[in-house]
């Protein structure tokens, strides 16, 4: 419950902040890339460094990674099929695959694995649409839903629960010790 | 500003530090990886005392590699003193492990362990079928099942009984019933025939009729007409006898038919007696045990188990190296997650290569360097993880010499060519001076026969081309002694075997497994097969013949009473019924003949009477009176 409240609180806090929508959208999109593909892959280290280097919202990135990891795990058979089609049936791209599996360093990325390449390809295809869509949705939220949610019964009830009271005390303590 | 160095720099620093620290722990990780890898294959604990990986010198040095024994917890199966691997560094960037030189120094067997050799967590390995093709697998299973069905338990349990009554009692004698049937039929006929005999006349009646005929011949008158009347009387008597004769002949025909039936019943009973005897003989014979396949029973099952193990390893090797998808440009390898696609192109190289390595290893007696007990010479060529990519067949030559071991020496040549569509495996081994007592043989509980001493030289050749295979092993045993210690004590079969085998000191054994189409043919031959068979058969037959004679006597005694009764019934029937009918017929014929004689007598008399009358008539004519006018001539 504590985690749920913290998660909802974080999402709302970020959404209600002045963070630029594209930073939030980049967090969701990179979370999609890392989440859909097998977690312990070398390319994910590079994505993580990119996320750290640029002003991409880290909270949203981690939340998005956790969310898409579940989806990615459930869709493994689909990634396997897509990956097999790309690696074996899509002969036009074969020189690229051969280079990726024979060149120096590249083999460590395991792009010859059907699930790695299948999920990565799906992630890359969805990357831009998800980014744009998230930007639009954040803007829409801030313009129309922010005030409604702030005064919604759900949020009022949530604030009335003892869990929220504990969470509020926890946040106050964090602020007191300068951890926020 | 879009760049966030405040976060990026610490993250990069953390990652870099982690990598640097990891580099110092790489020896530890590689050590664990090798230990776990070997343990996964052997199923026992593997320990490496020290491992040093140097990228600068491109070498991996393993000091004291211990592989624990499966059977003994505190003993190593084998211990390698030093293992040195020289590899190429640059291919590592391409995720390839290319070995330039590989050598082992010092092998020690059965050394003590300080810690337990048991694995705490052991991965359960699924039982794998021992063949690549399902059909071949079925064929192999059927060969194995053949041994399970073999009557080896009968061999050890086989006894020649002392008391024939036991055998005869266990049999339901069919001949007894058959003889009883003969008696019953004879009894039925005996009650039937008195009724039939009532149909024929009494002998007194015959006699009376004959007397009647006789009376007609006495005091014969001179008048021809009177004589003629008497002749008519005799004729009616003859007719009576003839009709009676016909009836008796009909009865005799029926008697003979019944007699034939009862004789047939008796013959059937005799046949049943022979059948009973044959059944009794089968119960005490070795015919169904097929002693001709003694060497198949003796050497087959254990060898088949070894074959099973070898084929399982061979199947694993094939699965790892020769499996390809329909598309020949790629190889597909199943992984825990997804599949790895390997592209078959000239540019691509296998991820593991050991191009050539030749070295010799010495085995030391309990680690003492001056006591070399074993020498191994190993030559490895073109070992690799993906033969189709590598394009060259792989070969391993191995030569060894042993002191005070179960074998004196061995030369092994392994060759496998998985570079083409049809994989080829050729394995050849010559093993000298094998301690014969270690040769796998016998069947526990049923046929626990072993060799207690002697030597064997074995040569084996194993060819696999695609799914077709042939595996021939030739073994020459010399100066062997047979061990019957675990054989059943009171078994005539093993007593006889003991006698026969004690004379066999040297023999040759051929074990052959080959695929014929979709089937497998497993042959086991020794040069003592025919000798054993003839010796066993002769010895057993001699004992059996004695017993069979007693058995025959017992059966005959059992059925003698009913048999005699049946025989008497048949004889009695023949004597009483047949004889009675025949006697009656003879008597009848006699009376008929006698009556016919009487008829002839009367006829002559009537002729004479007529002649006399004619003479008298002529005289009267001469006197003037013609008597012929008054006379009626009978003719």
Does this complex have an ipTM over 0.95? no
Closest to A62 measured CA to CA, from A20, A16, A27: A27
Residue B152 in domain: no
Q: Do A113 and B94 touch (CB under 8 A)?
A: no
The pLDDT-based confidence of B624 (bands split at 50, 70, 90) is low
Structure tokens at A70: 């579940």
SS3 call for A119: helix
A114: closest CA of chain B, how far (Å): 5
Give dist(CA B203, CA A68) in Å, integer: 126
Give dist(CA B176, CA B265) in Å, integer: 12
SS3 call for A159: helix
**Residue B130's pLDDT is what?**
55
SS3 call for A89: helix
- Chain segment B606-618, per-residue pLDDT in tens: 888 888 888 888 8
* Number of neighbours of residue A48 by Cβ within 10 angstroms: 16
Mutation target for B interface from A74, A92, A104: give the one with most B CBs within 10 A: A104
The pLDDT-based confidence of B325 (bands split at 50, 70, 90) is very low
Q: Mean pLDDT, chain B, as a whole number?
A: 82
Q: Is B123 left (phi over 0), alpha (psi -120 to 50) or beta?
A: beta
Q: Cα Rg for chain B, rounded, in angstroms?
A: 52
Q: Which of A6-10, A93-97, B224-228, B352-356 has the lowest mean pLDDT?
A: A6-10
- Chain segment B570-618, per-residue pLDDT in tens: 787 777 777 888 888 888 888 888 888 888 888 888 888 888 888 888 8
**Residue B626's pLDDT is what?**
61
- DSSP secondary-structure letter at A56? -
Residue of B nearest to A86 (CA): B341
Strand partners, A68: none
- Chain segment B240-266, per-residue pLDDT in tens: 888 888 888 888 888 888 888 888 888
Residue B113 in domain: no
| A55 inside 8 A of chain B by CB | yes
| A112 inside 8 A of chain B by CB | yes
Residue B225 in domain: yes
Q: Do A105 and B12 touch (CB under 8 A)?
A: no
* Surface-to-core class of residue A153, CB atoms within 10 Å of its CB (0-12 exposed, 13-18 middle, 19+ buried): exposed
Q: Which of A123-127, B327-331, B447-451 has the lowest mean pLDDT?
A: B327-331
Mean pLDDT of B417-434: 90
Strand partners, B464: B425, B469
Q: Do A53 and B335 touch (CB under 8 A)?
A: no
Domain range spanning residue B211? 164-287+550-609
The pLDDT-based confidence of A3 (bands split at 50, 70, 90) is low
Q: Which of B144-158, B198-212, B213-227 has the lowest mean pLDDT?
A: B144-158
**Residue B281's pLDDT is what?**
73
Closest to B302 measured CA to CA, from B164, B449, B420: B449
Which residue of A53, A87, A113 is in closest CB contact with B3? A53
Q: Do B94 and A103 touch (CB under 8 A)?
A: yes
Give dist(CA B176, CA B577) in Å, integer: 26
DSSP of B526-562: ETTHHHHHHHHHHHHHHHHHHHHHHHHHHHHHHHHHH
- Measured over the CA atoms of residue A18, residue A20, residue A24 and residue A30, the dihedral's sign is negative
Strand partners, B427: B414, B462
Q: Do B338 and A83 touch (CB under 8 A)?
A: yes
**Residue A136's pLDDT is what?**
95
Q: Which residues lie closer than 8 Å to B362 by C-beta, 6 or more apart? A: B105, B106, B107, B372, B374, B375, B376
Q: Do A113 and B335 touch (CB under 8 A)?
A: yes
How many degrees, rounded to 5, is the angle at CA B130 between CA B126 and CA B135? Answer: 120
| A96 inside 8 A of chain B by CB | no
- Chain segment B337-394, per-residue pLDDT in tens: 888 888 877 767 788 888 888 888 877 665 555 667 788 888 989 998 888 888 889 9
Q: Which helix (H) or strand (E) holds B163?
A: none
- Chain A residues with beta carbon closer than 8 angstroms to that of B338: 76, 79-80, 83, 113-116, 118
Mean pLDDT of B493-521: 85
Which spans in B57-96 are helix H?
Answer: 90-93
The pLDDT-based confidence of A102 (bands split at 50, 70, 90) is confident
DSSP of A95-114: HHHHHHHHSSSGGGG-TTBH
Percent of chain B with pLDDT over 90: 17
Residue B118 in domain: no
Q: Do B347 and A105 touch (CB under 8 A)?
A: no
- Chain segment A28-79, per-residue pLDDT in tens: 999 999 999 999 999 999 999 999 999 898 889 999 999 999 999 999 999 9
Q: pLDDT at residue B448 above 90?
A: no
Structural domain count, chain B: 1
Give dist(CA B4, CA A39) in Å, integer: 24
Mutation target for B interface from A61, A102, A117, A120: give the one with most B CBs within 10 A: A102
SS3 call for B587: helix
Give dist(CA B535, CA B496) in Å, integer: 9
B91: closest CA of chain A, how far (Å): 8
- Chain segment B517-526, per-residue pLDDT in tens: 777 888 888 9
Q: Are B100 and B86 in contact (CB under 8 A)?
A: yes
B98: closest CA of chain A, how far (Å): 14
């Amino acid at each position: 419950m504590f985690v749920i409240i913290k998660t909802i609180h974080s999402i709302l806090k970020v959404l209600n902040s002045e963070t630029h929508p594209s930073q939030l959208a980049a967090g969701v999109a990179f979370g999609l890339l890392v989440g859909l593909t097998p977690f312990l892959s070398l390319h994910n280290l590079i994505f993580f460094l990119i996320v750290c280097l640029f002003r991409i919202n880290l909270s949203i990135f981690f939340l998005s990674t956790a969310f898409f990891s579940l989806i990615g795990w459930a869709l493994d058979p689909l990634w396997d099929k897509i990956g097999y089609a790309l690696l074996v049936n899509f002969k036009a791209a074969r020189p690229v695959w051969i280079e990726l599996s024979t060149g120096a360093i590249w083999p460590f990325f395991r792009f010859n694995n059907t699930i790695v390449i299948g999920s990565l390809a799906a992630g890359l295809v969805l990357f831009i649409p998800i980014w744009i869509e998230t930007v639009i949705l954040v803007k829409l939220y801030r313009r129309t839903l922010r005030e409604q949610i702030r005064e919604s019964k759900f949020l009022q009830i949530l604030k009335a629960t003892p869990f929220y009271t504990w969470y509020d005390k926890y946040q106050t303590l964090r602020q007191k010790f300068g951890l926020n | 500003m879009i760049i966030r160095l405040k976060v990026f720099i610490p993250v990069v620093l953390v990652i870099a530090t982690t990598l640097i620290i990891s580099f110092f722990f790489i020896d530890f990780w590689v050590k664990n990886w090798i230990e776990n890898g070997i343990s996964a294959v052997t199923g026992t604990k593997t320990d490496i005392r020290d491992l040093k990986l140097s990228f600068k010198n491109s070498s991996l040095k393993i000091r004291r590699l211990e592989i624990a024994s499966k059977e003994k917890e505190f003993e190593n199966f084998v211990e390698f003193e030093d293992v040195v691997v020289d590899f190429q560094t640059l291919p590592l960037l391409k995720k390839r492990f290319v070995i330039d030189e590989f050598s082992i120094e010092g092998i020690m067997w059965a050394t003590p362990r300080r810690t337990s050799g048991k694995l705490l967590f052991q991965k359960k390995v699924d039982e794998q079928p021992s063949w690549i093709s399902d059909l071949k697998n079925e064929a192999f299973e059927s060969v194995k099942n053949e041994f399970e069905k073999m009557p080896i338990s009968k061999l050890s349990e086989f006894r020649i009984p002392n008391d024939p009554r036991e055998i005869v009692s266990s049999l339901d004698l069919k001949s007894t019933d058959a003889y009883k049937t003969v008696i019953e039929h004879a009894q039925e006929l005996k009650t039937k025939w008195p009724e039939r005999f009532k149909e024929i006349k009494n002998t007194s009646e015959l006699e009376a009729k004959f007397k009647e005929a006789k009376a007609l011949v006495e005091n014969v008158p001179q008048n021809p007409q009177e004589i003629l009347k008497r002749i008519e009387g005799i004729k009616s008597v003859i007719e009576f006898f003839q009709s009676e004769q016909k009836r008796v002949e009909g009865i005799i025909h029926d008697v003979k038919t019944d007699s034939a039936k009862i004789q047939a019943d008796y013959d059937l009973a005799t046949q049943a007696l022979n059948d009973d005897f044959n059944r009794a003989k089968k119960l005490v014979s070795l015919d169904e045990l097929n002693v001709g396949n003694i060497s198949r029973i003796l050497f087959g099952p254990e060898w088949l188990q070894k074959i099973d193990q070898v084929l399982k390893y061979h199947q694993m090797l094939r699965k790892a190296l020769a499996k390809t998808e329909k598309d020949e440009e790629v190889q597909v390898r199943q992984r825990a997650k997804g599949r790895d696609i390997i592209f078959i192109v000239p540019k691509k190289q296998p991820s593991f290569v050991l191009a050539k390595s030749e070295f010799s290893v010495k085995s030391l007696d309990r680690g003492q360097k001056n006591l070399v007990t074993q020498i191994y010479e190993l030559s490895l060529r073109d070992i690799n993880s993906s033969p189709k990519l590598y394009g060259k067949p792989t070969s391993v030559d191995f030569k060894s010499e042993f002191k005070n071991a179960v074998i004196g020496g061995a030369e092994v040549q392994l060759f496998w060519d998985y570079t083409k569509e049809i994989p080829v495996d050729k394995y050849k081994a010559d093993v000298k001076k094998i301690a014969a007592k270690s040769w796998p043989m016998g069947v526990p509980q049923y046929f626990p026969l072993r060799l207690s001493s002697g030597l064997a030289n074995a040569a084996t050749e194993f060819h696999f081309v695609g799914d077709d295979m042939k595996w021939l092993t030739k073994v020459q045993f010399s100066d062997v002694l047979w061990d019957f210690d675990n054989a059943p004590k009171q078994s005539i079969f093993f007593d006889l075997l003991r006698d026969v085998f004690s004379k066999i000191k040297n023999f040759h054994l051929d074990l052959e497994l080959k695929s014929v189409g979709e089937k497998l043919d497993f042959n086991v031959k020794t040069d003592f097969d025919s000798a054993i068979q003839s010796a066993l058969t002769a010895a057993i037959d001699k004992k059996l013949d004695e017993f069979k004679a007693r058995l025959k006597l017992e059966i005959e005694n059992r059925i003698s009473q009913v048999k005699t009764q049946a025989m008497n019934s048949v004889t009695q029937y023949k004597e009483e019924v047949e004889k009675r009918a025949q006697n009656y017929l003879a008597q009848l014929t006699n009376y008929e003949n006698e009556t016919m004689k009487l008829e002839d007598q009367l006829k002559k008399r009537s002729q004479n009477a007529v002649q006399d009358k004619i003479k008298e008539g002529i005289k009267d004519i001469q006197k003037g009176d013609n008597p012929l006018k008054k006379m009626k001539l009978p003719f």
